Structure 1
Amino acid sequence: MDKYGVGQDPYCYAASSVLVNKLNISDESDLENAERDLTQVAAEAIEFCPPPYDFEFFKELHRQLFEDIYPWAGEVRIVDVSKGSTRFCTTSRIEPEARKIFSKLAEQRWFSGCTRDELIKNIAEFSGDLNILHPFREGNGRAMRLLCDFIVINAGYQVDWSPVDSALWLQASIDSVRCDYQAMQQVYSLCIGEELPV
């Protein structure tokens, strides 16, 4: 079983939990290191874009982050996944649930015009819901954080993820399954900074 509890699936090498990749890496630890390094380089090359931020935009961000590693970068997953006791959105519901999440984001004008406190509350709920959607086989968190960078910057605030440790992020993700967004609000209270100069 891989970390998402899928077991043998079409994304992995035969009799392995290692995802098929363009680098032909067969060791999970080596693949994680390559992922980290290559997505960091890719993220630095992606320039800020203003809204609209819709599901197609999110898929494109994922593609740009992971296209050098995975052949399915930017594509919605075709297997159901879970992590621990958390079951993510079933494949048949990903597209319709994504439409709901991103339609609500558009109705709220991508949180532009919010105070910092309002932004923290709104983006915490958005992130929690997007985490449960988990539309990609791998790389959901990295793509989501990049999208949220764009949303925060567009709303007029600085963003810096360095104060957020992995334990808090994990807890926030787990809690959001139960629609408890307090830990996710704590995440964003740490990473959203001052208003950007006009």
Structure 2
Amino acid sequence: MSFDLLYIAGLAGIAVFAVSGALAAAEKELDILGFILFATVTGIGGGTVRDLILGVEVAWVANPIDLKTCIGAAIITYFTAKQIIRIQRLLVWMDAMGLALFSVLGTAKAYHLGADPLVAIAMGMLTPTFGSVIRDILLDRAPVLLEPEIYVSAAITGSVSYLVFISILDEPNLSTILAIACAFLVRGAAIIFDLRLPKFKHH
């Protein structure tokens, strides 16, 4: 798999996240501008925050195709929301792949910029999740970070796996692919078996 293919997969991941944001706008019965807002925030919000923290040019500013992808996904969702909702299960799996992909690519970007490994892991966790957090805050509902469902844990798995593989193999392409697979397997297992982290309980 080449990085060209990873880039295309990244755009697909942005589109999936954008659709999930647009569907949230559909639940609130917003107008098309609301769809575009939520799609954009969800699709590229995490990457934007990551790049600002790392002090580098924001990805969608350097390459507006990411922003155009969000807008396109929002418009399509606005006119086809009822049909998309029917394939919600497929979207869950596409979201899982997007999560795995962006957790690893976010970690890799921070790592190759010379960030501390712990910072790189934080960037890998933030990239696929923070857009959803902003979306949920705007919708006044519990952010994904506060849910017991294994979602953020899968992102951390991808981040840590990448750092382990890159240190052992010293092969960026192979390390990226293996780490994405690890994150996807964790998230996939959580979806299939309804795995959740235990909650703290007061006795």
TM-score range, shorter chain: 0.3 to 0.5
Alignment TM-score, normalising by the size of structure 2: 0.35
Where is the helix percentage greater, Structure 1 or Structure 2? Answer: 2
Question: Which gives a bigger RCO, structure 1 or 2 (Cα 8 Å, sep 6+)?
Answer: 2
Alignment TM-score, normalising by the size of structure 1: 0.35
